[in-house]
């Protein structure tokens, strides 16, 4: 299975297990298919530089990774990001350096019921569980997501069982900021109006 268009459970805020609604999100298990679907230049983080464990670390790509509990693993070593201690209350939040609409990475040993949550549709948080979706107890391989709207962060969380896994080759597609309107024509029009008013004042002898 390389691609799913999934009806993801939409969740209220941080209530990770309370379904409210469903929205379609594209999920890929093939890196090539995901990159072809994105069809644009992406930022690649290969985790080349080690990061010591800390509550918040910043990847080379500018992504910040924040753990919710000080004893959880949150580190970069030997070309991979290592995450450990994830449960229903112990979470990792990745904040991207700006708005994105797609991300993907290769994961090793992701337990079922460990989910990736984000506002992929622009209407509320939705949760993706790669292992359960592919029918395995532990998922290893590529996972890619293309949302219906831009978003800037994801949360990785589990259930009551502790999950420890690693991530390699994080990719994401940044959304271009909205274009700033060209003020040239408007400024020229405003200047013409001022000149016209000045001419009228002189014509009627106004001071």
Residue 176 lies in a domain: yes
Of 35-49, 84-98, 153-167, 191-205, give the lowest mean pLDDT range.
Answer: 191-205
Number of domain units in the chain: 1
pLDDT at position 143 over 70: yes
For residue 19, pLDDT over 90 is answered with no
Residue of 131 and 162 predicted with greater confidence: 131
Q: What are the CA-CA distances from residue 73 to residues 110, 131, 180, 199 (Å)?
A: 15, 21, 42, 73
Q: State how beta strands 43-45 and 73-77 pair.
A: unpaired
In a domain, 18, yes or no: yes
- State how far the alpha carbon of 77 is from the alpha carbons of 23, 90, 131, 168, 178, in Å: 36, 21, 24, 11, 37
Q: CATH code at 125? A: 2.60.120.430
Q: Is residue 193 part of a domain?
A: no
**pLDDT at residue 195, as a whole number:** 67
A 10 A CB-CB count for 200 gives 10
Lowest-pLDDT choice from 11-25, 131-145, 161-175: 11-25
47-83 tens-digit pLDDT: 999 999 999 999 999 999 999 999 899 999 999 999 9
Residue span of the structural domain in which 143 resides: 3-180
pLDDT band at 178 (very low <50, low <70, confident <90, very high): low
Confidence of residue 181 (pLDDT cuts 50, 70, 90): low
> Does the pLDDT at position 202 exceed 60?
yes
Residue 163: its pLDDT value, please? 87
Question: Is residue 155's pLDDT more than 60?
Answer: yes
């Amino acid at each position: 299975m390389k691609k799913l268009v999934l009806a993801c459970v939409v969740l209220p805020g941080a209530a990770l297990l309370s379904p409210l609604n469903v929205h379609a999100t594209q999920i890929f298990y093939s890196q090539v298919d995901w990159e072809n679907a994105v069809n644009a230049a992406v930022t690649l983080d290969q985790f080349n530089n080690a990061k010591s464990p800390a509550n918040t670390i910043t990847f080379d790509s500018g992504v910040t990774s924040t753990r919710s509990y000080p004893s959880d693993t949150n580190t970069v070593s030997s070309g991979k990001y290592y995450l450990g201690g994830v449960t229903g209350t112990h979470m990792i939040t990745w904040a991207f350096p700006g708005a994105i609409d797609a991300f993907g990475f290769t994961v090793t040993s992701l337990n079922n019921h460990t989910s990736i949550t984000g506002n992929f549709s622009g209407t509320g948080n939705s949760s993706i569980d790669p292992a359960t979706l592919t029918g395995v107890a532990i998922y290893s391989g590529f996972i890619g997501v293309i949302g219906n709207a831009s978003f800037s962060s994801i949360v990785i969380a589990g259930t009551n069982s502790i999950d420890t896994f690693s991530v390699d080759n994080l990719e994401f597609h940044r959304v271009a900021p909205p274009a700033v309107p060209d003020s040239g024509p408007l400024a020229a029009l405003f200047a013409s109006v001022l000149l016209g008013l000045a001419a009228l004042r002189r014509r009627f002898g106004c001071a």
